[in-house]
């Protein structure tokens, strides 16, 4: 099961340099040693762990998968590890409160959606160098209490609580549970069980991934490399570009028109980083785009190219082209999109309930904020000022913000 395949490993300096630099935040223990390993021509076992605690993934998450795709294209073995066991604990990384623990049924229920989304980037059908899909319950469910104590003996409480999010909870007198310390131990043990050479993940996973480095050295006297990927953020304000709650997240499973529109709403200042982290364009092509911007090219034209490239990855060339046409008709010619989502509801139902219950708007408080900002209207531009307004007898074409459209039909 764990044997090396006959896949030829590609040793190409340009491609290896791209792996070592593009979308990379940090490399452990260092870039030079990893470069030497990649140039050895030996196939590496590389994994990324996923805790399917939700069904939502955005183009920022996809940066990790694109890095894995480059390594897979070089001939290395890729393992996608579904953290079905660890998800039942909840990863405390980058969280200021205890994570909700999921049941096994909830975890497995989310898996199908994740695989569909990841499969648009990672080729699960490659027969020459098949991608492994594993579950950490294979080994973690078999560990004894004695095994847990042994794992814990290689770390200190000081190491655990030095994490910023734990420190914040301690200062705010919020609960910090012992079981949360087990998460990095178990994720670290995944590296031992899989006998990997490298792990790829976001910067929020650094502590957990380095725990794997420690345990792999202890149990197998083996060096594990770690690549942390860059976070999509505004280059000036440093705010996260992808936020589902703020409506700026571009989901991997969003319809092409909606995906295209959301990308067009992203800040001009982040264009180059988005090309680097979220597209397959070469760095040479991206450098040319950067020069075009510097010499006065309209950012909108560049952003259309960006939206087309990203939509093409997840929906194909034809759908991306159609989404571009729809965007031009909708936003440049102020037309209402023909394929807007249609909701059939009771004529007595309130607009606020229709939009919130169907997850068009995140919450009632968000709906009221949009009303106050004049951002909800009957197409083309009749503002809706009353949050308790009912649907009524006639079909309503509702516009929310600049990029969300919905048709409400009374039954």
**Residues 376, 321 within the same domain:** no
Specify whether 300 is located in the same domain as 224: no
Say what the pLDDT of residue 91 is: 56
322 to 46, 316, 386, 396: CA distances (angstroms): 37, 10, 35, 25
Mean pLDDT across 317-329: 93
Report yes or no: 279 and 313 within 8 Å, Cβ to Cβ. Answer: yes
| Residue 305 domain-assigned (yes or no) | yes
- Asked if residue 325 and residue 190 are part of one domain, the reply reads no
Q: 273 and 392 share a domain?
A: no
User: Are residue 31 and residue 162 in the same domain, yes or no?
Assistant: yes
Asked whether residue 76 is domain-assigned, the answer is yes
Whether the pLDDT of residue 226 is over 50: the answer is yes
- The pLDDT confidence band at residue 93, using thresholds 50, 70 and 90, is low
Q: What local confidence, expressed as pLDDT, does residue 248 receive? A: 72
User: Is pLDDT of 223 > 70?
Assistant: yes
User: Which residues, 6+ apart, have CB-to-CB distance to 153 below 8 Å?
Assistant: none
User: Model confidence over 118-133: pLDDT tens digits?
Assistant: 899 999 989 999 999 9
- Report pTM: 0.78
CA distances to 46, 90, 107, 111 from 139, rounded to whole Å, are: 18, 18, 17, 19
Q: What confidence category does residue 35 fall into, taking pLDDT thresholds of 50, 70 and 90?
A: very high
Which domain does 363 fall in, by range? 341-410
- pLDDT-wise least confident of 9-13, 95-99, 311-315, 386-390: 95-99
pLDDT at 227 over 90: yes
193-211 pLDDT, tens digit each? 999 999 999 998 999 999 9
Residue 347 domain flag: yes
User: With bands split at pLDDT 50, 70 and 90, how would you rate the model's confidence at 5?
Assistant: very low
> What is the mean pLDDT of the segment spanning 323-330?
88
- Give the Cα separation of 196 and 134 in Å (integer): 13
The rounded distance, in Å, linking the Cα atoms of 108 and 110 is: 5
Give the angle 73-41-30 at the CA atoms, nearest 5°: 85
| Per-residue confidence (pLDDT) for residue 59, from 0 to 100 | 94
Residue 48 belongs to domain with CATH number: 3.40.50.620
Read off the CATH number of the domain in which 397 is found. Answer: 3.10.290.10
Rounded mean pLDDT, 165-169: 86
The answer to whether residue 235 sits within a structural domain is no
Q: Are residues 214 and 271 in the same domain?
A: no
- Domain annotation covers residue 245: no
Same domain, 120 and 197: yes
Same domain, 136 and 219: yes
The verdict on residue 246 lying in a domain is: no
pLDDT of residue 4: 47
Residues 354, 396: Cα–Cα separation, whole Å: 12
């Amino acid at each position: 099961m764990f044997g090396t395949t006959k896949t030829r490993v590609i040793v190409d300096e340009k491609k290896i340099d791209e792996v070592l630099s593009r979308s990379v935040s940090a490399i452990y223990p260092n870039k030079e040693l990893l470069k030497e390993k990649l140039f050895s021509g030996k196939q590496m076992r590389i994994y990324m762990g996923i805790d399917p605690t939700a069904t939502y993934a955005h183009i920022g998450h996809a940066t990790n998968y694109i890095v894995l795709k480059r390594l897979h294209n070089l001939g290395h073995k890729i393992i996608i590890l579904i953290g079905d066991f660890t998800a039942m604990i909840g990863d405390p990384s980058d969280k200021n409160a205890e994570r909700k623990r999921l049941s096994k049924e909830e975890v497995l229920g989310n898996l199908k959606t994740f695989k569909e989304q990841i499969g648009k980037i990672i080729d699960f059908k490659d027969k020459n160098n098949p991608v492994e899909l594993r579950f950490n319950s294979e080994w973690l469910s078999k560990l004894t209490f004695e095994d847990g104590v042994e794992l814990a003996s290689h770390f200190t409480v000081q190491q655990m609580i030095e994490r910023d999010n734990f420190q914040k909870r301690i200062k705010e007198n919020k609960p910090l549970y012992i079981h949360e310390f087990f998460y990095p131990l178990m994720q670290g043990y995944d590296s031992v069980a899989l006998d990997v050479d490298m792990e790829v993940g976001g910067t929020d996973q650094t502590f957990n991934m380095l725990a794997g480095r420690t345990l792999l050295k202890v149990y197998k006297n083996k060096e594990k490399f770690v690549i942390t990927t860059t976070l999509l953020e505004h280059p000036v304000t440093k705010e996260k570009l992808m936020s589902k709650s703020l409506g700026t997240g571009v989901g991997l499973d969003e319809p092409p028109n909606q995906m295209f529109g959301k990308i067009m709403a992203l800040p001009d200042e982040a264009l180059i980083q988005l090309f680097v982290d979220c597209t397959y364009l070469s760095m040479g092509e991206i450098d040319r785009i950067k020069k075009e911007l510097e010499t006065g090219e309209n950012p909108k034209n560049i952003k259309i190219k960006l939206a087309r490239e990203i939509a093409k990855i997840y929906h194909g060339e034809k759908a991306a082209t159609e989404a571009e046409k729809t965007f031009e008709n909708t936003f440049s010619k102020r037309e209402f999109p023909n394929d807007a989502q249609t909701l059939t509801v009771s004529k007595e139902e309130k607009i606020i309930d229709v939009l919130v219950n169907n997850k068009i708007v995140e919450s009632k408080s968000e709906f009221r904020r949009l009303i106050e900002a004049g951002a909800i209207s009957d197409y083309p531009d009749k503002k809706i000022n009353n949050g308790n307004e009912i649907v009524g007898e006639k079909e309503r074409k509702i516009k929310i913000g600049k990029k969300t459209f919905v048709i409400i039909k009374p039954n």
